[in-house]
Structure 1
Amino acid sequence: MKRACVAFWRGGDSALPGYRLALVVTLLWTGLFIALPLCALIIRPWQDGVGPVLAELHDTRMFAALWTSFFSAAVAALLNVPIGLFLAWMLVRGNLPGQRIADALIDLPFALPTAVSGITLATLYSPQGWLGYPLAKMGVSVAYTQWGIIIALMFVGLPFVVRTVEPVLKALPHEQEEAARLLGAKPWQVITRVVLAPLLPPLITGFGLAFARGVGEYGSVIFIAGNQPFKSEIAPLLIVVRLQEFDYDGATAIALVLLVISLAALAGIGVLRRRFSAWGAMP
């Protein structure tokens, strides 16, 4: 043990300059900003006993809000996968006018305040909005429904898919596709085995990032959702409602359930990504 501590202090076998400082800063940052808040969130609901947590687990409003959040985030991330793949393909392989402007606009949800995007989407898709009015004429309601939540989450989650797929697509050599054609591969085989196979892991990663962002999204959703309990109320909003009611036990219990389900979903996405990575690496 003493020898290991001395080796760590001396930098071990690493030739990297500043090894000890970088490792200490990384561990300190991880502990203070990730591990410590997560531990506090896990411990806080149980400080007043098991009763408040069990009482929240019987709250049907909480389960309805959780279902709205996770279902909407999953649908939005799933719809963003083909759209993000198409946009990344156009940015990398296409040669269209205004391509640099489109490339910059994709990152707009990162820079735009979520409240601004929420107000804009609610204005566009309201019954009197530019897009909501013709849709209302056709009997389709978007604003103040779950479809409005999905559209808002698609807006904020699309850059994650595009920016995850784009570098892998840039590194994909054209020679592989040409070699597959020369060897007699059919077009669908070139697409599935040569093009899509190496893109599946980044697509799954982009889906996971968009899904994680959608589950916790608040600002861009509350303006277009309508926030009706058991219909279009999301879990982050319900946490804010519980805090406004000074129900801190209820708020932390909902946050704990949200954390557990999110970690389980991300772990499943990680396993799926590794399996598809191994499949894509097969000859």
Structure 2
Amino acid sequence: MNQKSWRISPLPGFGPAMGFTLLYVTLIVLIPLSAIFVITASLGWSDFWSVVTEPRVVASYRLSLLTALAAAGINVIFGVLVAWVLVRYRFPGKKLMDGLVDLPFALPTAVAGIALTSLYTSNGWLGRWLDPFGIQVAFTPIGITVALVFIGLPFVVRTVQPVLQSISREVEEAALSLGATPRQTFFRVILPELFPAVVTGFVLAFSRALGEYGSVVFISGNMPLKTEIAPLIIMTKLEQFDYTGAAAVALVMLSISFVLLIIINGFQTLQEQRKSRWKGAQ
């Protein structure tokens, strides 16, 4: 009886489901990515190396990576704070705030870029207050980071929020009753539970920021060697019908992001294994 009920499923068996899954992943992910390798293979090694090591291209790598890392780090801090407020407190307008978190998902990136640029230029609503202090946001790496923070915040909030909801308040109350301070309770009880979700949110925000184009292209100013991001280099080469050069730059960005994601995910797996061993020892 139990074996028969176990076999009943609203979806087809493992074989058909796995087949459709592999077909979908192949068509949507593997084939497009393999096209980058195929196009780049038409270049010789010397031509490939000369394309991907141009000073202008190298500067775009550096800018894209540093701003993406900075934006993801900022989003981790404030994303956890926003998720905490939405989960642990009740206040007027909570549902509205919860909906606003998803706004960067729905808002076209070009609209976000234009809005941020109009805000942070020297005569914008916010830029005019920063300009007397010598702080320039628009057309600088700071502006790029601001745009990437804007589009990356929902990834952290929506990753941390359900995990925070699942943490029992009884565990916190037990820690407090045993003499732990609120700070100790957060860092020793709550944060270890949130850590895998925080790392996942960081990875998602970083990956999204690394390939962002629409919201950045307006606020960056696109100055070569200063505020020119790697996706813009790719778009410029495509507009010049240099498909192999664009594919070469895209391959480097793909390789960098892939290596970083492996490192971060490996670190997350290591932390989860340590956590499992610690619980097993108890």
The interval holding the TM-score normalised by the smaller chain is: over 0.9
TM-superposed CA distance for 1:38, in Å, is 1.3
1:142-161 equivalent positions in 2, closer than 5 A:
142-161=137-156
For the pair 1:179 / 2:174, whether they are aligned, the reply is yes
1:46 Cα offset (Å): 1.4
Deviations 1:225-269 (A, max 9, x none): 011111100000000111122222211110000000010011111
Alignment of 1:248-263 (within 5 A): 248-263=243-258
Correspondence for 1:34 among 16, 29, 53: 29
Identity %: 45
> 1:18: which partner in 2?
12
**Counterpart residue type for residue 12 of structure 2:** G
**1:183-241 residue CA offsets vs partner (Å, 9 max, x unmatched):** 23333321111111101111111010000000000000000001111110000000011
Counterpart of 1:18 in structure 2: which amino acid?
Answer: P
Offset at residue 47 of structure 1 (A):
1.6
Aligned 8 A contact 2:42 2:244 in 1: no
One-letter code of the match for 1:81?
Answer: V
Q: RMSD across aligned C-alpha pairs, in angstroms? A: 1.4
Q: Does the CA contact (< 8 Å) of 2:138 and 2:220 recur in 1?
A: yes
| Deviation, structure 1 residue 101 | 0.3
Question: How does 1:83-232 map onto structure 2 within 5 Å?
Answer: 83-232=78-227
**C-alpha displacement at 1:14, in angstroms?**
5.9
CA contact (8 A) 1:160 1:209 kept: yes
Query: What amino acid is the match of 1:56?
Result: V
CA contact (8 A) 2:121 2:138 kept: yes
Pairwise CA distance, 1:49: 2.5
Question: Which AA in structure 1 matches 2:37?
Answer: I
Q: Is the 8 A contact 1:146 1:232 kept in 2?
A: yes
CA–CA separation in structure 2 for the residues paired with 1:14 and 1:141: 63
Q: Find the counterpart in structure 2 of residue 46 from structure 1.
A: 41
Contact 1:198/1:277 (8 A) holds in 2? no
From 236, 242, 251, the equivalent of 1:247 is 242
| Paired position in structure 2 for 1:64 | 59
- Work out which of the residue numbers 78, 89, 96 in structure 1 matches 2:73: 78
Cα separation, 1, equivalents of 2:143 and 2:199: 24
Normalising by structure 2, report the TM-score.
0.92
Q: Distance in 2 between matches of 1:127 and 1:184?
A: 52
Q: In structure 2, how many angstroms separate the alpha carbons of the residues matched to 1:278 and 1:201? A: 11
Q: 1:113 to 1:148 in 2, by over 3 A?
A: same
Shift of 1:181: 1.7
* 1:212 aligned counterpart, secondary structure: helix
Q: Is the 8 A contact 1:52 1:249 kept in 2?
A: no
Q: Output the TM-score relative to the length of structure 1.
A: 0.92
- Cα drift, residue 58 of structure 1: 2.8
Structure 1 unmatched ranges of 5 or more: 1-12
- Higher mean displacement: 44-53 or 83-92: 44-53
Post-superposition Cα deviations, 1:105-135, rounded to whole Å, max 9, x if no partner, equal 0000000000000000000001100001100
**One-letter amino acid of the structure 2 residue matched with residue 135 of structure 1:** L
